[in-house]
Structures are given as C-alpha cells and as structure tokens.
A and B are shown apart, each in its own frame.
Chain A
Amino acid sequence: MLDLEYLKKNQFEKFIWRVRQFFCNFPAAAARFFRRLWAAVCGFFARIGGAFGEIGRAVRFGDWKTRVSLGVMGFGHFARRQYLRGAMYLLFEVIFGLYLGLFGWKYLAKMGSLGETAMAEVFNEETGIFEYVYFDNSMLILLYSVLTLFFICAFCYMWYQNVRTNNVLQEMEEVGKRLPSTKDSLDAMVNDQYYKTLLALPMLGILVFTIIPIVFMVLIAFTNYDQVHMPPARLFDWVGMQNFGAILGGSGITGPAFAYTFREVLIWTLLWAFFATFTNYILGMLVALLINKKGIRFKKFWRTVLIFSVAVPQFVSLLLMNQMLGTDGIINNLLRNWGWIEQPLPFLTDPVWAKVTVIVVNIWVGIPFTVLITTGILMNIPADLYESAKIDGASPLRAYLKITLPYMWFVTTPYLISTFVGNINNFNVIFLLTNGKPLDLKFQNAGRTDLLITWLYKLTYDEQNYSFAAVIGIVTFIIIAVVSLIFYNRSKAVRNEEEFM
C-alpha cells in the first residue's frame, strides 16, 4: 500500500491495517530471526574450528619455540625477545595454575552437589569437648565455582591467543620480517589497540560486578537458597524448575501464596509503569505547552518554580509526601480542622487509594521533569504546522492531538522506552512513599503497592529468600526485554536514525 493511501484512512482503519501488517510480517520476522540465530551459531562454531586449526598448525608445523609455548605460555615470546608480552602470558599461567590448584578446584568439584556436610560435631582433643565445625558452605561453593568457570574460560582464551601469536611470530621470523618490539606493542596500545586500553577497566568492572553476579543469581534461581537453607549452618541444593513452578501457580508449600502474590504484583507493576509513564508524559507536555503559549507572561518564573522541584533530591520529596499524606499527616489534619472530613482520608492505607496516591504523587514528582525535557523539543515543532492548522479551523485540542502528540511521539520514543523500563524498576517512589503498604495477609512478603523490584528487595533484605528473589529478577528481565524489543522494533526513530543491533 502506498503512503498516500495509508494516510487517507481513518484512525480505526489504520489501526486494523497495522495489526494485520504485524501478523502478516510475523512469519517473515520470525524466520529472519531464526536465520540470523543460525548464522550466529554457525559463525561461532566456525571460529572455534578455526581456533582448533590454529592449534593444530602449532603442533604440526611449529618450531621448538612455538611447541614449548603450548605448555609454557609466553616461552616463544621470550625466545623471540618480546619480553613484556611473554612475561604477561607466563604470569597469567602461573596465577591461574595456583588459583585452580590451591583454591578453585576444591569448589568446582563440589558444584554438582553443592556440598555434603554443612556442620558436624568434632571432638576437640585439646579442650576435650565436642565442637561444631563448619564444613561445606553451599553459597561459597557456588560463588567460587562460577568464578572458577569464568577464570577457566579466560585461561582458554589466553592460551589460544598465546598459540596464535606464536604462530604469527614464527611465520614472520621465517619470512624474515622484523618482529615487533616491546616498544611497538606499547605504541599499539595508544593507536590500533587503543580500544583495549580504554575498555579494559570498564569491562573488568562489568564482568566482576554485573556479569558474574547475574550468572550466579540465575543459578541461585534453580536452588532452594532461603532462610531454612542458610549457609554456613545448613546446605542448599539444586531444585530444578521448582521455584518457577511455585511462582507460576504450581503446587508445593509455598506455591499458591507466592503464585497469588506474583500475579497481583506483576499486574500492578505493569499498570503502574503504564500510568506513571503516560500520565507524566501527556500532562507534563500540556504544562510545557501552556508555559510556552503566546500571551502567557512570566514564562521564566513558572519554569523556575517547576525546575526547583526537579532539583530537590527525590528522596526528600517522597519522604515528605509520605509524611504529609499519613493518617495523622498535615493534609488530613488540615482537612479535619476545616471541617471538610470526619475521618482521615486513607491516602496510604486503603489499597485502591494508595495506588491512586502513588500515581498522583508520581505525577507531582514527574511533571516538572517532563517539562524540563520537552520544552526544547516542543519549540522545535515548526510553527507553520500550527498556523496552517489554525487557518483550516482546527481547534487547539485537535492541533494537540494531530500535530503535537504525533511529532513528540516520533521524536521521543527512545526516551519513553527508557522511562517505561525505569518505572518498572522504580524503587524509590514506591519504597520511600508507601514502602509497599498497605499490607495484605494473602500476600507473601509484599504489600498492595509493591512492585516486582521492591518485592525483590524485601525478599532479599528482610526474608533472605534469595532463590525466589532471583526468580523475580529473571521474570523482570524477561518483561523488560519483551517490552523493549516490541517498542524498539515499532519505533521508526530507532530503526532509521539509530545504530541498533
């Protein structure tokens, strides 16, 4: 269909057409996805095959320097006067050997069982009494096993690099080229290899503080690590998919309550993220438009008032609101004093009231921010669009719906996605404003306004129920991934003007 034909349709037809288009494109998109996946898998194995080829070459055709390097990493570099690199390889091998032999191996061997005895009575010869002695600590076993596995991967990679560079050096030697000296490799650090210099530290941080912890927590989701199985006094064990079953409504002691809580919290999280994002977005834009409107005076004053409340740290605003809206808070007190109400309004104590309050307070917190962000963009909308709409007799509302919103929607989609995702994980607003309350007896460790993220926090901090916390974390990840993928794929702004995937 041509663009013009599409534009001629009314809203409803456009919607129908887009839905149909989505389903028509679906098989092709899925096929494309799987084809790409397949290509990636093939590429991966091809590279592994290439790596083995490289190793085979070193074994078969390598000179003695290269062959010794297969066992003693960096030997070939030393023999070819590349002392710095050689020393680094050797050092890495020594550290790895010491780590694995003295430390890592003990833990890795127990990864399958996560330990046999946690604690036992042992007779102390010196004092002549029985003492409790801790043996296996499941948590440490799992943690160090993950660490060791990553270390082993790193070692394999380094070893392969060692073999490969040796091959290259040998070849250069045979052809009679000058071998790069230590100074050359240092020069490369600020030139061709500069990306390694820049990214080394950031990526190390990500690896240690994000990737390894996430792998660890994903594994925890398949264990029964909670208060009843708390190392060092007790062991925890692998339980397979049981936790996921319990959360999705399976049987078991913890089953139904957790499943119920999960369902309610999930629904509220999505509702919250939707309303929090779009109320702020639309209302904030209206306020920004109003301030920018021709004929409105003291523009700077209005803007400063709003910006001031962005500038105050959010936790202050939220704790303040929590105090003001309490049963004995100033708002209820004033309303009672003026004789407008008899009983205090249940802003934070009634489930429905609390949910509305949270969204309204979030509007209060968020509108100034939206105003700040959108003012500049709103001024960029070509004024002649509005002029011509006015000449054609469009009302301001119509101009807003037909010009402002589509324009802003197009331009700010990435911002909206990140806000939506941010709201799913909006810990501060919920935790500091309501702390998840009001409580509900049918809920497991959560209140009626708890989001997944605050529930996760409470399960970790208050209950030490790490396995369920990990499951919640994984579910949150899946939700965010799905939401982002759908939005990103539908947003033209992202597809055309951003380098993505």
Chain B
Amino acid sequence: MEGAKKKKFRSKRRAERTANAVGHIVLAVISVIWVVPYLYLLLQSFRGEPGAYTSYLLPKEFTFENYTKLFTDTKLFNFPQWYLNTFLTALAVCVLQTVIVLATSYALSRLRFRGRKGIMNLLLVLGMFPGFMSMTAVYFVLKEIGLTQSLVGLILIYVASSAMQYYICKGFFDTIPKSLDEAAKIDGASRHTIFFKIILPLAKPIIVYTVLQAFLMPWGEYMFSSLLMLGDQSKFNVANGLRQMLQRENIAEYFTRFCAGAVLVSVPIAALFIWLQKYYVEGVTGGAVKG
C-alpha cells in the first residue's frame, strides 16, 4: 500500500517534470519564432552584398555602409530629415496631447456640471466613426489655411481629437478618493489649486502612461501622414519614408538601407518602451480592464 502510494507520487513528479520540460521547449520555440525576424533585420542591416533578397540568412560580408549612407546619401531619401520630423512631431504631440487628455479627464471625472454625461456619450459615439473618415474634410480645411504638407498640420490632426482618449485617464482619476478634494475645498483651495497641487502629484503613473502613449504614436503612424503630406518627401515621417524604400523600383538598391533605418528607429523606441513598460501595463489594465 505504502509502496503504491510512493510509486504514484513518483510518477506524478515525473509527469510534472516532463510537463515542465515540454513547457521549456515550447517557450524556447516561441522565443526563437519571435526573435529570429528581428535578428534577420539586424543582420541584413549589416549586409555588404547588394540586392534585395539573398537565399541565405548570414550575410557574407559585413559593413556599416548601410548606416552611413542613410545619413550621407540623402538626395533621394532624406532619412535624417524624416527622423527629425518624427521626433519633433512626437515631442509636440506628447506635450499637447497630455495637457488635453488630463484636462478633459479631470473635468469629466471630478467636476460635476450639466451636460457632463452628454459630453461623455458624445465622445463615445464620435469614437465609433473611423478616424480616417473625417480626414477628407480636415484635409480641405487645412488646405484652405495652407497647412497641408506641413508638420504643424499633422500635429493639429493628431492632437485636436485627443480629448476622445480621456477614458483610461478618467478611470484613474475616479479611483482617487473624493474626500481629498473636499478637505482641500474646506481649506479654501480653488478647483484649479486642487487639480494642480493635489490630484496631479498623485497621478504620476497615468501621466507617464499618457506621455508615453502620445510620444510613441507618431513613430508608427502611416495613414494620416501619408495623406496629408501627399508625396512631399521632405515632410515624411519614418514610417512613411521607410515604406518608400520598399517600393518595387527602389527595393533592390535600398532594402539593406531600409533594414538599417528600421534598426535606428526601433532601438531607441524599444528602449524607451521597455524602460517605462510598467506604467504602460498599469495604464492599459487600470483603465481598460475592470477587476
């Protein structure tokens, strides 16, 4: 009887060990699948041989030329300019969008006024329209005031409707106890003071989330910028520009350079994201998930 129990226990442990081994193998396979494409990108960015595609993974000749050429050979594709464009856009968007989102969500979360629910419902309904639909009209308006093919116009497009992203931030403000406001109010603080002196210092995680989100968005945005810039390459952002390198007529010459450019874009963005990922996860799970 005792022996049988022991045997069963041992077989159970063995089963667990096999399960763990299988688990490790699965994870290893997954990791390989997830890493190899990026490894391929990195390797191609150092490839010396010309041409778009090779039939082997490891380049035969390693070179830095793809990187240097991105910055020196700017006649056809001005990569540094695109980088600068995207960076400036991202900076402006992250400042303005953060201000707008914080103001909107504070007002909708902690102030009570007539029409509050109306505004919330309106924003909800507006959010159901595809954002691109309004783009045609916005484009004509911007054209009338001469802001097409300009970064200011692009920033306006990104920022103007950012009040619609109030949702996550409002969810955070909702969790800060109301008694804080009331205590401060009794002490004679104005609404304005309460917002700046009490609520904002408590809202650091959500501010970081909003800033991060706003800063990252322009780096991968293709749809609006391609329509607004209409082929003016000096105003492209990185997504738009790097895609041009992959057009059929350019790809043979520019594929490796595309890889180099992609690496140059990805490394700082990935570093930033990994550094601040804690806030990112907190923001998304705190606002979009109710537990």
Contact = CB atoms under 8 A, between A and B. Distances in A.
Q: Do these two chains interact?
A: yes
Interface of A: 139-140, 143, 187, 190-192, 194-195, 197-199, 201-203, 205-206, 208-214, 216-217, 220, 287, 290-291, 293, 295-297, 302, 304-317, 319-324, 326, 328-330, 333-334, 336-337, 364, 368, 372-373, 375-377, 380, 411-415, 418, 421, 425, 427-428, 431-432, 452-453, 456-457, 460-461, 466, 469-470, 473-474, 476-477, 480-481, 484, 493-494, 497-498, 501
A365 to B, nearest CB: 10
Interface of B: 16, 19-20, 23-24, 26-27, 30-31, 33-35, 37-38, 40-41, 52-57, 100, 103-104, 106-107, 111, 113, 116-117, 119, 121, 123, 125-126, 128-138, 140-141, 144, 156-157, 159-164, 190-193, 195, 216, 219-220, 222-223, 226-227, 239, 242-243, 246, 255, 258, 262, 265-266, 269-274, 277, 280-281, 284-285, 288-291
A421 B26 CA distance: 31
Contacts of A296: 20, 23-24, 27
Contacts of B226: 461
Contacts of B255: 323
24 contacts: A203-B163, A206-B160, A206-B164, A212-B137, A214-B137, A287-B30, A290-B27, A293-B23, A305-B31, A315-B243, A316-B242, A317-B37, A319-B246, A372-B280, A377-B289, A377-B291, A412-B288, A418-B288, A425-B130, A427-B132, A428-B223, A461-B226, A466-B136, A497-B290
Contact of B285 (A306, A310, A377): A377
B281 A372 contact: yes
A205 B126 contact: no
Contacts of A324: 37, 40
Contact of A316 (B262, B271, B272): B262
B227 A460 contact: yes
Contact of A290 (B26, B164, B262): B26
Nearest to B243: A319
A213 B141 contact: yes
B288 A217 contact: no
Contacts of B132: 427, 453, 456-457, 460, 473
B129 A473 contact: yes
Contacts of A461: 226-227
Contacts of B265: 313, 316
Contacts of B291: 377, 380, 411
A329 B40 CA distance: 12
B125 A311 contact: no
Scoring A140, A199, A203 by chain B CB atoms within 10 A of each residue's CB, the highest score goes to A199
A311 B273 contact: yes
B262 A217 contact: no
Closest 4 CB pairs between A and B?
A473-B133, A213-B134, A213-B137, A209-B160
B134 A290 contact: no
Contact of A337 (B56, B130, B136, B216): B56
Nearest to B261: A316
Per DSSP, chain A at the interface is helix
Given A321-B37, A330-B40, A191 B191 contact: yes
B291 to A, nearest CB: 5
A311 to B, nearest CB: 4
A227 to B, nearest CB: 14
Nearest to B99: A201
B27 A414 contact: no
Contacts of B266: 311-313, 316
B288 A308 contact: no
B38 A206 contact: no
A456 B55 contact: no
Contacts of A333: 53-56
B103 A201 contact: yes
A190 B130 contact: no
B278 to A, nearest CB: 10
Contacts of A302: 27, 30-31
A194 B289 CA distance: 30
Given A312-B270, A372-B277, 8 more contacts: A197-B192, A216-B137, A293-B23, A311-B269, A313-B220, A319-B262, A330-B55, A376-B281
Contacts of B190: 187, 190-191, 194
A481 B128 contact: yes
Contacts of B133: 213-214, 217, 456, 469-470, 473-474, 476-477
B160 A311 contact: no
A315 B246 CA distance: 13
Contact of B156 (A143, A209, A456): A209
- Give the residue among B20, B132, B162, B216 with the most A Cβ atoms within 10 A: B132
A459 to B, nearest CB: 10
Given A364-B34, A368-B34, A457 B223 contact: yes
Contacts of B272: 311
Contacts of A323: 53, 246, 255
A165 B53 CA distance: 73
Nearest to A376: B285
B128 A421 contact: yes
A310 B226 CA distance: 24
A414 B223 contact: no
B258 to A, nearest CB: 8
Contacts of B242: 315-316, 319
A17 B126 CA distance: 35
Nearest to B245: A319
Contacts of B37: 317, 320-321, 324
